[in-house]
Chains A and B, each alone.
Chain A
Amino acid sequence: MAGITTHVLDVRTGRPIGGMQVELFDLATTPPTRLHATRTNPDGRTDVPMLAAQAARTGRFELRFHVNAHFKAPDALAEEVPVQFGVFDAAQHYHIPLLCSPWFFSTYRGS
């Protein structure tokens, strides 16, 4: 399966984060073009892929996670986490999870 998917997990509780706002931008344009905006479901995933397989293409994209709108920590290290990444092969699946707390953010190319 091609396209872009994500998964948001809370490292403090070891559980998925539901209801976090996530956006996908295409970085080829100035300013970036927003392709999709949604909230994570109770499983920490999105009901539909952030970018569908049919729409997959090479280029640079940004997944923007609105972390502190969820955590609401007054001393959070960040309000939002932009993950900017390149897709070099549109036939491949890009799964990009975010493991987080209000003071810790980790992402990687998953599967």
Chain B
Amino acid sequence: MKAALHQPARRRFALSGLALGATVLAARGAQAADAPAAPARASGPIVLHGVSPRLTVHALDTFHGAPATGLRIDFSAFDGEDYALLRSFTVNANGRSDEPLLIGDSYRPGRYQLLLHVDEYFAARKAVLPTPAFLTRLPVRFQVVNAGERIHLPIQFGPWAYTYSRGS
């Protein structure tokens, strides 16, 4: 089973304790303590933390130390030639989308893109930045390989830096 085979590598990465300073990794380490020691061997979809497979996102503004409430994001899927818009949404008070981006039948393997409109986001917060700013429309490209495993995608960004990773 593909998912089971790949789990150990991710688990090792999670527990390796690399000093990345990312809260993402700290959170993952904390959860790993509660997880079974052996890799999951389920034959059906793997339910992590009590939820079915889905794609979720969490956007944090490291400039203000706050969830990126109000950030506009265009969510697209790669159609073989280009990234075609699925829908646009605005990040809620929690730094998330109100609903999972993909869930159930819509959660399929493929390549996707989140385009973050960080230029208008920081302009609305009266941040003083050069023109053109270093980051304007920020593309986060990623893929879903196994629709049996959920993907949580935390994104941390400021005017001069960003990080994204596979969360949980």
Q: Identify the A interface with B (CB < 8 A).
A: 11-12, 14, 58-60, 73-82, 84-89, 101, 103-109
Is A84 a contact of B139 with CB atoms below 8 Å?
yes
Q: Which residues of A contact B9 (CB under 8 A)?
A: 73, 75
Binding site secondary structure of chain B: mixed
- A60 CA to B136 CA in the complex, in Å? 9
Chain A residue with the shortest CB-CB distance to B136? A86
Q: Are B163 and A74 in contact (CB under 8 A)?
A: no
B-side residues, CB < 8 A to A, are 2, 6, 9-10, 13, 16, 18, 20, 22, 111, 130-139, 141-143, 145-146, 151, 160-166
Assembly CA distance A105 to B139 (angstroms): 12
In the assembled complex, the Cα of A78 lies from the Cα of B78 at a distance in Å of 13
Q: Which of B132, B136, B143, B162 contacts A76 (CB 8 A)?
A: B143
Contact B141 A81 (CB under 8 A): yes
CB–CB A79/B6 < 8 A: no
